[in-house]
């Protein structure tokens, strides 16, 4: 994923609210979120090229989501698929902390990443560049292709809009509206991640819309204090339309 917002134990009704866009090359095949045939307790999309996923939740309440860490000074070697990091947590049974400690011991197997895993009761963040496991305290967070809460323009803008909704009776459509913002910031607001200025501009909007590369999936997930999960997804198709997908279930 490339732009993520989440509120953890920061709302009177919901323990966890997640908003995220998955940006990818248009020709990379993926399947929308569904309960997997191989692991029927897991609700997530699938990257059909590598077999991993970018975000998901299980019926036991295991939550995982991932972004790549973009730094042009670090060679990308296409090692073990980073999508396995989320997939293996969702289908596994290790505690979030034990899981991240295991990943930490194998951090060089993967290209740069940011990973959040946990449940309603405990949530952790880890980047193999920073190499520090951090517990997520109650609050509101933004994540893109740098470290957690790095104040990139699109992260700040999206987070401010998100914060403005949390004290209101917001709708799912309003959350999706945050994820649909295509504004490209001024050049002086662009991050310097070691790629060309034109590529920085392309990647700088919350929702990316170019013929070859762009936002493929928009996800809104809400977990309330009664453990009801509402998972909503919008999927970009070959005709340039957004199609709705979703599921509602209770955590066991």
> To 5 degrees, how large is the angle CA 207–CA 210–CA 212?
120
What is the number of residues in the chain?
252
Domains contained in the chain, number: 1
Q: What is the CA radius of gyration of the chain?
A: 17
| Model pLDDT, residue 79 | 80
Q: For each successive 10 residues of the chain (252 residues), what is the average pLDDT?
A: 97 98 97 98 98 98 98 83 98 98 97 97 97 98 98 98 96 99 97 94 97 98 98 96 98 95
Q: What is the DSSP letter of 81?
A: -
**Domain extent for 225:** 3-250
Q: How many CB atoms within 10 Å of residue 120?
A: 18
CATH code of the domain covering residue 188: 3.60.60.10
Burial pattern 209-241, b for ≥16 Cβ within 10 A else e, equals eeeebbbbbbbbbbbbeeeebbbbbbbbeeeee
């Amino acid at each position: 994923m490339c732009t993520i917002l989440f509120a953890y134990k920061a709302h009177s009704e919901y323990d966890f609210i997640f908003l995220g866009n998955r940006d990818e090359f248009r020709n990379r095949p993926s399947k929308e979120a569904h309960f997997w045939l191989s692991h029927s307790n897991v609700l997530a999309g699938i990257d059909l090229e590598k077999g991993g996923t970018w975000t998901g939740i299980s019926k036991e309440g295991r939550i995982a989501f991932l972004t790549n860490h973009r730094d042009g000074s670090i060679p990308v070697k296409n090692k073990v698929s980073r999508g396995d990091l989320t997939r293996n947590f969702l289908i596994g049974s290790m505690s979030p902390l034990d899981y991240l400690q295991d990943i930490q011991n194998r951090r060089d197997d993967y290209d740069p990443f940011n990973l959040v895993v946990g449940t309603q009761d405990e949530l952790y963040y880890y980047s193999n560049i920073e190499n520090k496991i951090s517990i997520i305290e109650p609050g509101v967070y933004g994540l893109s292709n740098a470290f957690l809460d790095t104040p990139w323009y699109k992260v700040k803008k999206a987070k401010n809009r998100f914060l403005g909704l949390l004290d209101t009776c917001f709708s799912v459509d309003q959350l999706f509206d945050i994820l649909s913002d295509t504004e490209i910031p001024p050049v002086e607001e662009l991050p310097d991640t070691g790629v060309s200025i034109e590529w920085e501009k392309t990647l700088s909007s919350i929702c990316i819309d170019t013929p070859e590369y762009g936002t493929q999936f928009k996800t809104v997930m809400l977990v309330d204090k009664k453990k009801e999960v509402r998972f909503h997804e919008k999927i970009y198709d070959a005709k340039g339309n957004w199609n709705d997908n979703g599921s509602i279930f209770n955590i066991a």
